[in-house]
Amino acid sequence: MTDTATSIPLILMTALSAAAATLAVRRLRAARPQEQRPNTSPTQHLLVGLIAVGCITLLLLRWLLLWESWEPLHAHVDGLLLMCASFAGAVLYIQTRPKLRGLAAFALPLLTLMLAWAICASLWTYRPFRLDTLEPAWLVFHTTSTYLGLLCCALGAIGGAMYLYVQGRLKSKHAVPGRLASLETLETLIIRAATLGFVLLTLSLVSGVVLVTRGEGTALGIEWWVSPKVILATLAWAVYALLMNIRHASAFRGRRAAWLAIFGLVLLLATYGIVGAMDKQTGTIDTASSLKRASDTDRGGD
């Protein structure tokens, strides 16, 4: 029942997002060089606003319907809803900023993919978090910082994708359609997104380490620090550490920074993929299960 109640609005919102993305891309393609008309239409604003409100409403509804504890995120789909709501809010902001002209055309397809991912997470790969742990605060901290960190990295990646597009047009001496965000603005966006993403990923890593060490690292194996998940997460963290200092590490400026932003997101998605693979083995999310084992051990100790 809950799956259906979640999936149907999600499918509707995915359709709305796809429509908004189509509008944005068509608008971008139809723009003439140096044209200064607004980078978005009222319809596009409305669609994205509906998605943002829809995601938040759905997240709250799920929280109330599945009330188990004070934690708002019960499952992976809730994390994705939080991310989609925040991302839709970010797109709304982007659409109102003249300096970020055209970025919505790159962001909205990604929002559509996120919503589609949320449908999958709701219908076929539903993964509830284990909330009956001794460390719910750490778990909430970990999951929230992870999803919001991923959101920042996604913003950096769309900045990178647009940078590559604009730079490619400029290098090939083709006129840029419309007046898109400048390369300087996009580089600033990548750096800011990477900086925020780095902070959130740091929090996520630290909280993850706390959770794993409290659970004696059994979910990720005895040598959890060399597990693929930790290695990939650390590698992504390092990429963002480099990206936020790109103006000092000048060898990575420009095109390389854009590719790094995209590579960082791919690394994070790969880390999530590994989480999913591990969950299939353990049945629940790793940190939760390890904490459960830790709590069992504690109780046994009592």
Partner 1 sequence: MRILMVGLNHRTADVAAREALAFDDAGVAGLLSQLRERFPMSEGVVLSTCNRTELYIARPVHAAPSAEEVRSLLAERGGLAPEVLASTTLLREQEQAALHLFHVCAGLDSMVLGEPQVQGQVRKAYELAQSHGLVGPVLHRLFRGALAAGKEARNRTGIDAGRTSVSSVAVAFARNIFDHFTDKKVAVIGAGEMIKGAAHALLREDPQALWIVNRSPGRARQLAQSVSPDGARPVAMRSWDDLDTVLVEADIVVSCTGANEPVVSADRFRPLLKRRRNRPLFLVDMAVPRDIDPAIGGLSNVYLYNLDDLQQAVGVTTDERHAQREQCEAILHERCARCMGEIRHRDLGKLVQQLRARLNDIADQEQQRTQRKLAAQGVVNERHDAVIREHNHRLINKILHLPLSQLDRNDPNAPVGFYAAALRRLFDLDDEPTVPGEGEGSEAGSDRQDAS
> Applying CB under 8 A, does 283 fall inside the site for partner 1?
no
> Applying CB under 8 A, does 174 fall inside the site for partner 1?
yes
SS3 of residue 75 by DSSP = strand
Q: Which is nearer to partner 1, 32 or 68 (CB)?
A: 32
Rounded Cα distance, 56 and 210, in Å: 29
x-or-dash string of contact with partner 1, 237-266, rule CB under 8 A: -------------xx-xxx-----------
CA angle 116-117-119, nearest 5°? 65
For the bound state, the minimum distance from the C-beta of residue 24 to partner 1, rounded and expressed in Å, comes to 19
For the bound state, the minimum distance from the C-beta of residue 48 to partner 1, rounded and expressed in Å, comes to 24
Contact 25, 110 (CB under 8 A): no
Rounded Cα distance, 258 and 255, in Å: 5
SS3 of residue 178 by DSSP = strand
Q: Which is nearer to partner 1, 86 or 185 (CB)?
A: 185
> Applying CB under 8 A, does 127 fall inside the site for partner 1?
no
What number of chain residues touch partner 1 (CB under 8 A)? Answer: 23
Q: Which is nearer to partner 1, 35 or 296 (CB)?
A: 35
**Which of residues 4, 29, 34, 222 is near partner 1 by CB under 8 A?**
34
For the record, the structure tokens of 239 come out as 């990429």
Contact 16, 50 (CB under 8 A): yes
The residues in 182-221 that bind partner 1, with binding defined as CB under 8 A, are: 182-185, 188
> Applying CB under 8 A, does 168 fall inside the site for partner 1?
no
Rounded Cα distance, 77 and 75, in Å: 5
Q: Which is nearer to partner 1, 176 or 233 (CB)?
A: 176
> Applying CB under 8 A, does 119 fall inside the site for partner 1?
no
Region from 29-37, 53-61, 74-82, 282-290 binding partner 1, contact rule CB under 8 A: 29-37
> Applying CB under 8 A, does 58 fall inside the site for partner 1?
no
Rounded Cα distance, 276 and 183, in Å: 36
3-state percent breakdown (helix, strand, coil) of the chain, nearest 5:
75, 0, 20
Rounded Cα distance, 110 and 227, in Å: 29
Rounded Cα distance, 194 and 239, in Å: 9
Binding footprint of partner 1 on the chain (CB under 8 A): 32-34, 99, 166, 170-171, 173-176, 179-180, 182-185, 188, 250-251, 253-255
